[in-house]
Amino acid sequence: MPPTSPDPIPDARARFDALVLPHLDRLLAFARRRTDSLADAEDAVQEACIRAWIGFGDLRDDLKVRSWLYRILRTALSDAREKSGRRRNLVSITRLEQAHDELLGGDENAVFGEVAARLSSEVVHMALAEIPEDFAVAVELHDIDGFKYVEIADIVGVPIGTVMSRIARGRKLLAGAIVANQRAWAAAGWATGAAKRAAQAAHATPLERGRP
């Protein structure tokens, strides 16, 4: 009787844990910014981990595990939104861009400088919920999670030029959303008065400097 081969499952599990577990906190933070509650975010990450385990054999390059996991999580989040029938309420893009231009006096080259410093704040979380998904995701992946353009292009499945365009316009829409809603949010106790000063003072986000 030929000797039995070792069970590959334990080895695969150890490799999976080593590669995936270090990214769970960042994945949960990303999911939380895209969902209405912590419970929904946790469910999405759990679903993404299940899908990652099922498709673990498709991961050929361990160095690309981070972008691979984000791609799976985005799909899980998208599927969850479709299943629940929920669609985020989007404000007019034109209105947001007008609000941004009014804030900056029409300076097309100015960038919302407060974005990188405040992306984790509740105000910016609410603002991200106001802008279209494609733009919000591009800004989050670059300015919050630190992905490079080429990695974002792989995650969302669009050319690098489209990624760059979405980030630039997404920041503009994000600034407009904060300006357009600052009265209502201020009434609710969220301070946004620093937005104008930060936007006028900056020409690039801190996280953007030095990163392609």
List pLDDT tens digits, range 140-189: 899 888 899 999 999 999 999 999 999 988 888 888 887 777 666 555 55
| Residues near 34 by beta carbon (within 8 Å), at least 6 away in sequence | 41, 44, 77, 136, 137
To the question of pTM greater than 0.75 for the whole model, the response is no
DSSP 8-state assignment for residue 113:
T
What are 90-144's pLDDT values in tens digits?
A: 555 666 666 656 655 544 444 455 444 544 467 777 778 888 888 999 988 998 8
DSSP string, 50-91: HHHHHTGGG---GGGHHHHHHHHHHHHHHHHHHHHT----PP
Residue 55: the pLDDT is: 92
| More confident call, 195 vs 167 | 167
**Angstrom distance (rounded) from CA 57 to CA 89:** 38
pLDDT above 70: residue 87: no
- Enumerate domains of the chain plus CATH numbers: 8-84 (1.10.1740.10), 93-201 (1.10.10.10)
CA distances to 26, 65, 170 from 130, rounded to whole Å, are 22, 30, 11
In which residue are the tokens 């299943």 written? 83
**pLDDT-wise least confident of 14-18, 44-48, 142-146:** 142-146
